[in-house]
Chains A and B, each alone.
Chain A
Amino acid sequence: MSKDKPLKRITITVSDEVYSELKAHKIKNVSEFMQDAALEKLKNICQKKMTQTLTNFPRKKPIEPSVSGVRKRREIKI
Protein backbone atom coordinates (compact mmCIF):
# COMPACT_ATOMS: atom_id res chain seq x y z
CA MET A 1 0.00 0.00 0.00
CA SER A 2 1.32 3.43 -0.92
CA LYS A 3 2.58 5.52 2.02
CA ASP A 4 1.39 8.83 0.64
CA LYS A 5 -2.20 7.65 0.51
CA PRO A 6 -3.93 7.83 3.87
CA LEU A 7 -5.54 4.63 5.01
CA LYS A 8 -9.28 4.61 5.40
CA ARG A 9 -10.83 2.90 8.35
CA ILE A 10 -14.00 0.94 7.96
CA THR A 11 -15.89 -1.16 10.39
CA ILE A 12 -17.28 -4.42 9.29
CA THR A 13 -19.52 -6.86 11.05
CA VAL A 14 -18.85 -10.49 10.42
CA SER A 15 -20.50 -13.68 11.50
CA ASP A 16 -18.97 -15.85 14.24
CA GLU A 17 -17.90 -18.25 11.55
CA VAL A 18 -15.95 -15.63 9.60
CA TYR A 19 -14.49 -14.21 12.80
CA SER A 20 -13.20 -17.65 13.82
CA GLU A 21 -11.81 -18.11 10.35
CA LEU A 22 -9.93 -14.82 10.53
CA LYS A 23 -8.56 -15.70 13.95
CA ALA A 24 -7.69 -19.24 12.98
CA HIS A 25 -5.64 -18.02 10.05
CA LYS A 26 -4.12 -15.22 12.09
CA ILE A 27 -5.15 -12.80 9.38
CA LYS A 28 -3.89 -9.43 10.46
CA ASN A 29 -4.26 -7.64 7.18
CA VAL A 30 -8.01 -7.75 6.86
CA SER A 31 -8.10 -5.40 3.86
CA GLU A 32 -5.86 -7.75 1.90
CA PHE A 33 -7.99 -10.67 2.98
CA MET A 34 -11.15 -8.89 1.91
CA GLN A 35 -9.65 -7.91 -1.40
CA ASP A 36 -8.76 -11.54 -2.06
CA ALA A 37 -12.25 -12.60 -1.05
CA ALA A 38 -13.80 -9.94 -3.27
CA LEU A 39 -11.63 -10.99 -6.20
CA GLU A 40 -12.53 -14.62 -5.65
CA LYS A 41 -16.21 -13.69 -5.60
CA LEU A 42 -15.81 -11.61 -8.77
CA LYS A 43 -14.00 -14.49 -10.41
CA ASN A 44 -16.83 -16.88 -9.51
CA ILE A 45 -19.41 -14.47 -10.93
CA CYS A 46 -17.40 -14.09 -14.14
CA GLN A 47 -16.93 -17.84 -14.48
CA LYS A 48 -20.67 -18.41 -14.13
CA LYS A 49 -21.46 -15.61 -16.57
CA MET A 50 -18.90 -16.88 -19.04
CA THR A 51 -20.44 -20.33 -19.03
CA GLN A 52 -23.91 -18.78 -19.43
CA THR A 53 -22.81 -16.52 -22.29
CA LEU A 54 -21.16 -19.40 -24.08
CA THR A 55 -24.10 -21.76 -23.55
CA ASN A 56 -26.63 -19.20 -24.73
CA PHE A 57 -24.55 -17.93 -27.64
CA PRO A 58 -26.74 -17.46 -30.73
CA ARG A 59 -25.05 -20.10 -32.88
CA LYS A 60 -25.34 -20.36 -36.64
CA LYS A 61 -24.45 -23.03 -39.12
CA PRO A 62 -21.05 -21.89 -40.40
CA ILE A 63 -20.63 -20.32 -43.80
CA GLU A 64 -17.00 -21.36 -43.42
CA PRO A 65 -16.44 -24.15 -40.88
CA SER A 66 -13.87 -23.56 -38.16
CA VAL A 67 -11.17 -26.03 -39.20
CA SER A 68 -11.19 -25.43 -42.95
CA GLY A 69 -11.79 -21.69 -42.50
CA VAL A 70 -8.82 -21.25 -40.20
CA ARG A 71 -6.63 -23.55 -42.32
CA LYS A 72 -7.50 -21.68 -45.50
CA ARG A 73 -6.23 -18.45 -43.98
CA ARG A 74 -3.13 -20.06 -42.52
CA GLU A 75 -2.06 -21.72 -45.72
CA ILE A 76 -1.77 -18.53 -47.74
CA LYS A 77 1.84 -18.50 -48.87
CA ILE A 78 3.98 -15.42 -48.59
Chain B
Amino acid sequence: MNLNLTIDANVFLQAILEEELTSAAISLFEHINNNDVQIINPTIFEYEVINLSIVNKLDLNIVDEILQKYKLINLKVLFPSLKCFKKIDNFTQTFSTDFYTTLYHLFAIEHNSIFVTADAKYYSKVPKSKNIILFSKDILLELWK
Protein backbone atom coordinates (compact mmCIF):
# COMPACT_ATOMS: atom_id res chain seq x y z
CA MET B 1 0.00 0.00 0.00
CA ASN B 2 1.32 3.46 -0.90
CA LEU B 3 1.57 5.75 2.08
CA ASN B 4 2.60 9.32 2.54
CA LEU B 5 3.95 10.09 5.98
CA THR B 6 4.42 13.32 7.86
CA ILE B 7 7.11 12.53 10.39
CA ASP B 8 7.39 14.55 13.58
CA ALA B 9 10.89 15.81 14.38
CA ASN B 10 10.70 13.89 17.66
CA VAL B 11 10.49 10.61 15.70
CA PHE B 12 13.38 11.48 13.39
CA LEU B 13 15.49 12.52 16.38
CA GLN B 14 14.96 9.13 17.99
CA ALA B 15 16.73 7.58 15.01
CA ILE B 16 19.84 9.67 15.60
CA LEU B 17 19.88 9.74 19.40
CA GLU B 18 20.32 6.86 21.78
CA GLU B 19 16.83 6.43 23.16
CA GLU B 20 14.45 3.68 24.14
CA LEU B 21 12.80 3.44 20.72
CA THR B 22 15.86 4.12 18.58
CA SER B 23 15.84 0.69 16.93
CA ALA B 24 12.15 1.09 16.05
CA ALA B 25 12.91 4.51 14.54
CA ILE B 26 15.81 3.11 12.48
CA SER B 27 13.56 0.26 11.26
CA LEU B 28 10.92 2.78 10.25
CA PHE B 29 13.40 4.82 8.19
CA GLU B 30 14.92 1.68 6.66
CA HIS B 31 11.44 0.63 5.62
CA ILE B 32 10.80 4.09 4.19
CA ASN B 33 14.08 3.93 2.25
CA ASN B 34 13.50 0.49 0.85
CA ASN B 35 9.88 0.92 -0.11
CA ASP B 36 9.80 4.35 -1.73
CA VAL B 37 7.56 5.80 0.95
CA GLN B 38 7.17 9.55 0.58
CA ILE B 39 7.73 11.77 3.60
CA ILE B 40 6.00 15.12 3.28
CA ASN B 41 6.79 17.54 6.09
CA PRO B 42 6.31 21.19 6.95
CA THR B 43 9.43 23.38 6.80
CA ILE B 44 9.66 23.59 10.58
CA PHE B 45 10.80 19.96 10.63
CA GLU B 46 14.36 20.82 9.57
CA TYR B 47 14.67 23.67 12.08
CA GLU B 48 13.54 21.41 14.89
CA VAL B 49 15.91 18.60 13.93
CA ILE B 50 18.85 21.01 13.71
CA ASN B 51 17.86 22.76 16.94
CA LEU B 52 17.78 19.56 19.03
CA SER B 53 20.89 18.25 17.26
CA ILE B 54 22.77 21.35 18.45
CA VAL B 55 21.40 21.00 21.98
CA ASN B 56 22.44 17.35 22.00
CA LYS B 57 25.87 18.15 20.52
CA LEU B 58 25.42 15.80 17.55
CA ASP B 59 27.65 16.00 14.50
CA LEU B 60 25.79 18.58 12.40
CA ASN B 61 27.64 17.59 9.23
CA ILE B 62 26.19 14.10 9.39
CA VAL B 63 22.74 15.31 10.42
CA ASP B 64 22.75 17.67 7.44
CA GLU B 65 24.01 14.89 5.16
CA ILE B 66 21.12 12.65 6.20
CA LEU B 67 18.57 15.44 5.70
CA GLN B 68 19.97 16.32 2.27
CA LYS B 69 19.93 12.68 1.16
CA TYR B 70 16.35 12.28 2.33
CA LYS B 71 15.40 15.42 0.43
CA LEU B 72 16.92 13.95 -2.68
CA ILE B 73 14.86 10.80 -2.48
CA ASN B 74 12.01 10.53 0.02
CA LEU B 75 11.57 13.81 1.82
CA LYS B 76 9.55 16.71 0.51
CA VAL B 77 9.61 19.80 2.73
CA LEU B 78 6.88 22.34 2.06
CA PHE B 79 5.75 25.59 3.58
CA PRO B 80 2.24 25.05 4.99
CA SER B 81 -0.64 26.69 3.17
CA LEU B 82 -2.54 29.69 4.44
CA LYS B 83 -5.63 27.44 4.68
CA CYS B 84 -3.69 25.26 7.09
CA PHE B 85 -2.63 28.23 9.23
CA LYS B 86 -6.19 29.53 9.33
CA LYS B 87 -7.41 26.29 10.92
CA ILE B 88 -4.80 26.27 13.68
CA ASP B 89 -6.41 28.78 16.02
CA ASN B 90 -9.71 26.91 16.24
CA PHE B 91 -7.97 23.52 16.60
CA THR B 92 -5.55 24.58 19.34
CA GLN B 93 -8.37 26.19 21.32
CA THR B 94 -10.72 23.23 20.93
CA PHE B 95 -8.19 20.58 21.94
CA SER B 96 -5.75 22.65 24.05
CA THR B 97 -2.84 21.75 21.82
CA ASP B 98 0.29 23.68 20.90
CA PHE B 99 0.75 25.60 17.67
CA TYR B 100 3.59 23.59 16.11
CA THR B 101 2.40 20.02 16.69
CA THR B 102 -1.03 21.10 15.48
CA LEU B 103 0.64 22.54 12.40
CA TYR B 104 2.21 19.14 11.59
CA HIS B 105 -1.16 17.45 12.17
CA LEU B 106 -3.21 19.82 10.00
CA PHE B 107 -0.47 19.73 7.36
CA ALA B 108 -0.80 15.92 7.27
CA ILE B 109 -4.58 16.18 6.90
CA GLU B 110 -4.18 18.69 4.08
CA HIS B 111 -1.70 16.46 2.22
CA ASN B 112 -3.61 13.26 2.92
CA SER B 113 -0.71 11.76 4.79
CA ILE B 114 -0.31 10.16 8.20
CA PHE B 115 1.25 12.23 10.95
CA VAL B 116 3.63 10.01 12.92
CA THR B 117 4.33 11.60 16.29
CA ALA B 118 6.06 10.38 19.43
CA ASP B 119 4.24 12.96 21.54
CA ALA B 120 1.77 10.84 23.56
CA LYS B 121 0.46 13.94 25.34
CA TYR B 122 -0.59 15.55 22.05
CA TYR B 123 -1.97 12.26 20.74
CA SER B 124 -4.15 11.80 23.82
CA LYS B 125 -5.77 15.21 23.33
CA VAL B 126 -6.86 14.99 19.71
CA PRO B 127 -9.54 12.93 17.96
CA LYS B 128 -8.16 9.69 16.52
CA SER B 129 -8.31 9.53 12.75
CA LYS B 130 -6.53 7.93 9.81
CA ASN B 131 -4.25 10.98 9.66
CA ILE B 132 -2.45 10.46 12.95
CA ILE B 133 -0.58 7.62 14.61
CA LEU B 134 1.46 7.41 17.79
CA PHE B 135 5.02 6.21 17.27
CA SER B 136 5.73 2.97 19.13
CA LYS B 137 7.94 -0.10 18.87
CA ASP B 138 5.21 -1.65 16.68
CA ILE B 139 5.04 1.26 14.27
CA LEU B 140 5.78 -0.85 11.17
CA LEU B 141 2.98 -3.27 12.00
CA GLU B 142 0.65 -0.40 12.76
CA LEU B 143 1.35 1.38 9.49
CA TRP B 144 1.51 -1.61 7.18
CA LYS B 145 -0.97 -3.98 8.81
Tell whether B138 is near chain A: CB-to-CB under 8 Å: no
With a 10 A CB-CB cut-off, give which of A50, A61, A63 has the most chain B CB atoms: A50
Majority-rule SS of B interface residues: helix
Within 8 A of A (CB), among B1-57: 8-11, 13-19, 22, 26, 29-30, 33-34, 48, 51-52, 55-57
Interface size on A, residues (CB 8 A): 26
Q: Would you give the 0/1 interface string for A46-70, flagging 1 where the beta carbon is closer than 8 Å to chain B?
A: 1101110111011111111111011
Cross-interface CB contact of B48 among A57, A61, A73, A75, cutoff 8 Å: A73
A41 lies within 8 A of chain B by Cβ: no
Closest 8 CB pairs of A and B: A66-B13, A74-B100, A59-B18, A70-B10, A66-B10, A50-B69, A62-B17, A74-B98
A residues touching B (Cβ–Cβ < 8 Å)?
A: 43, 46-47, 49-51, 53-55, 57-67, 69-71, 73-75
